[in-house]
Structure 1
Amino acid sequence: MAVDFLPENVKLPVGQRVYSEKKMEHEGMKPHRRLVAMSTLFVYTAWPYILMFLLIFSWWRPVLILNLALYSTVLFPTKVFWPEFLNMSMFNTWREYFSFSYKFEEELDAGSRYIIAEFPHGTYPVGPLLAGTLIPRMFPGRCVLSVGASVLFRIPLYKQMFSWMGCQPADRKTFQSLLEKADVAAVVGGVGEMFMQYEEKEQVLLGSRKGFIKMALANGADLLPVYHFGNSRVLSIGPRSLMNFCRRLRISVGILVGRWGLPLPREVPIYMVVGRPVKVEKVGWDSPNFQEKVNELHEKFKKELQRLYEDNKADFGWAKRPLVIA
């Protein structure tokens, strides 16, 4: 069962698919709204290319001054989480462009603290980004912050945008600090999943990712698996030969390909499913069986993520598309 649209003052239904924006079954997305979505999404995804272009032409004084002004913004502190920023109409057009919808399989425990582990990263984590714009609506009464690749906070405007959405660099100290006061979301696969786009299957990088498991155990935070169906189809990147290079340096290098061969996200639906929480008992970092408990919880989480995917893939039209955990 699906709900076309859920106003903010209505309690979130459990087990039902909810569309973030009102669906226009007969008219579709208005042309002017699609134009706004496409132009702003293009600037967002192509921003690193735009910066590189500006750097190349720094010999021209006006461009040099512009570059100095842009990069100087990285040096100044930025407000962490700005709720009003999430209300920008631009984000409404983005969610409409991707027909963004979501479902919670279970009601969350008000007394629990969660680490929200999101998959897949895809070439760009558009699903997690759209979810971030709806935090007050999807998680009413909860404080939800997030962590992202440190390189994002060294890029002009990206730093401001992600900070205003409640995102901070993904290092252990920051993660610990955020978890002491809020639920924390993380796209676990990170840059390592950027090249994992296949026509015949979904693939996520989880086999070697245990940092979030360790944080959950050390803090007694429950794990909340999330899968963004469709996120892997938004953009592609190549050549694949750059995959190991990007993983080692934890940077994204390559040619983005989307709609019309441009770095413009394809207009595909994205369906976010929030799975059943994996309960976690606190185990201290210095406990002699800490690593054993990490391995046990990691296996338990993998099984739950696989279960979440298998139970919901048919609703998205992917009944014959398997999930491979690498």
Structure 2
Amino acid sequence: MKIEFAPRNVPLKRRLQTAALLQWVFSFLCLAQISIVTFFVLLFTRFWLVSVLYAVWWFYDYDTPSRGGRKVPFLCNIPVWDYMRDYFPIKLVKTADLDPRQNYIIGFHPHGILVAGAFINFCTGATGFAALFPGLSPYLLMLPLWFRAPFFRDYIMCGGLIPSDKGSASYLLQRKGGGNAVVIAVGGAPEALDARPGAYCVLLANRKGFVKLAMEHGAHLVPVYSFGENEVFDQVENPKGGWLRSIQDKLQSIMGISLPLFHARGVFQYSFGLMPYRRPINTVVGKPIRVEKRETVSAEDLDALHQHYMEELSKLFEEHKANYGVPEDTHLTFI
């Protein structure tokens, strides 16, 4: 294989974009593991008190992630996120107003490999969420597993990340006065196994938990489709029924996280590596679906609202696909 190296005269701005993206990929893939190892290694050094004091802090702070977390606006608006936004670039597209007096569940589709669009749009100020939707505070749900990693849990909470369990979401959605937007990558980790360029399928046909949650709290539903989310990485072929997919599905059922074998480009060459391609991501926020609060949720009402949500998501995709290079004869598939 011939390796295509990056030219030496790459502008400084592009180098900074690559550096910003590199630290994020590193954090996503390695920082939790390094944090765990560091915590235990320190116990056997003269700095053991650091881990002991942190353990005490962790005990008293244990419920914070499921109580809205600890978002730090300053860290959400530092320039590094602007450089990461411009690497692709990533853009947030508004199609309707969202009333800040309401609470919302924002369904993000598709998950992609590393959910780059969801992170930049809803965990940072780089794409102008606060200006587009004034009065709303977004919180992105992440697997609870990551909030069990010492030090790392505090890092991700700074960006408005909270555990993806019902209790964490309910805590925000039951707040009176509105202004909270819980962002859920509905397809979750399993959907990442189907993320590859040219794939326009979302894992949604049997995903109804977020719809039920919206009905229980009277939170309006907002469908979001992120064009380009699946284009930034290639993935090793893993057809359903094949040996690789069987192993991935088994590991996902055991650990709760999927392990897609993805690849794209490197830092100093364009032929292979774990850095995403420089391809645009355009995250389109649809109009809200009004949801009335219900004490009891019947199966019929749940199915009807779920079907309505799928129809609105499909409509959003059809109305905007031509703007982002999706072939006219391509339609969204629900699996």
Question: Which TM-score applies when normalising by structure 2?
Answer: 0.77
TM-superposed CA distance for 1:52, in Å, is: 10
Residues 173-226 of structure 1 show CA distances to partners (whole Å, capped at 9, x for unaligned) of 221111123221111111111111244431111011111100111111110011
Paired letter, 1:160 = D
Contact 2:14 2:87 in 1 (8 A): no
Aligned residue for 1:18? none
Q: What residue in structure 1 maps to residue 99 of structure 2?
A: 109
Match runs of 1:271-286 below 5 Å: 271-285=282-296
Give the CA deviation at 1:111: 3.2
- Match for residue 264 of structure 2 among 258, 263, 270: 258
SS in 2 for 1:152: helix
CA separation in 2, counterparts of 1:124 and 1:106?
27
What is the CA-CA distance between 1:155 and the residue it aligns to? 3.1
**CA 1:86/1:199 → structure 2, altered by over 3 Å: closer, same or farther?**
closer
Q: CA deviation at 1:75?
A: 6.0
Distance in 1 between residues matched to 2:51 and 2:262, nearest whole Å: 26
- Structural mapping, 1:88-237, within 5 Å: 88-132=78-122, 133-134=124-125, 135-181=129-175, 182-237=180-235
Structure 1's 52 and 184: CA in aligned 2 closer, same or farther, altered over 3 A? closer
- For residue 30 of structure 1, give the secondary structure of its aligned residue in structure 2: helix
Distance 1:107 1:161 in 2: 31
**Following the alignment from structure 2 to structure 1, what is the Cα–Cα distance between the partners of residues 215 and 165?**
17
| Match in the other structure for 2:307 | 299
For residues 84-118 of structure 1, give each alpha carbon's deviation from its aligned partner in whole angstroms, at most 9, with x where no partner exists. Answer: 11112111111111211121111223433211111
In the alignment, structure 2 segments of 5+ residues that lack a partner are 1-9, 237-243, 267-271
- Give, as a single letter, the amino acid of the residue that structure 1 aligns with 2:253: R
Structure 1 position 48, deviation (Å): 5.8
Q: Distance in 2 between matches of 1:237 and 1:187?
A: 19
Alpha-carbon distance in 2 for matches of 1:28, 1:291? 57
Asked if structure 2 preserves the Cα contact closer than 8 Å seen for 1:226 and 1:274, the reply is yes
In structure 2, distance between residues paired with 1:212 and 1:53: 31
| Secondary structure of 2:279's aligned partner | coil
Match of 1:319 among 311, 314, 327: 327
Give me the whole-angstrom Cα distance separating, in 1, the residues matched to 2:293 and 2:209: 15
Q: Kindly indicate whether the alpha-carbon contact (under 8 Å) linking 1:201 and 1:323 is maintained by their aligned counterparts in 2.
A: no
Percent sequence identity over aligned pairs? 27
**CA distance 1:254–1:308, change in 2 (3 Å):** closer
**How many matched pairs?**
296
Query: Structure 1 stretch 270-279 or stretch 161-170: which is displaced more?
Result: 161-170
| Cα RMSD after superposing both structures | 3.3
1:148 is displaced (CA, Å) by 1.8
Q: Residues 85 and 128 of structure 1: is their aligned pair in 2 closer, same or farther, counting only changes over 3 Å?
A: same
Scaled by the length of structure 1, the TM-score of the pair is: 0.79
2:250 aligned residue (245, 263, 269): 245
Using the TM superposition, give the Cα deviation of residue 28 of structure 1 relative to its aligned residue in structure 2, in angstroms.
8.0
Structure 1 runs not aligned, ≥5 long: 1-26
Task: Name the counterpart of 1:13.
Answer: none
CA-CA distance at 1:246 after TM superposition: 4.0
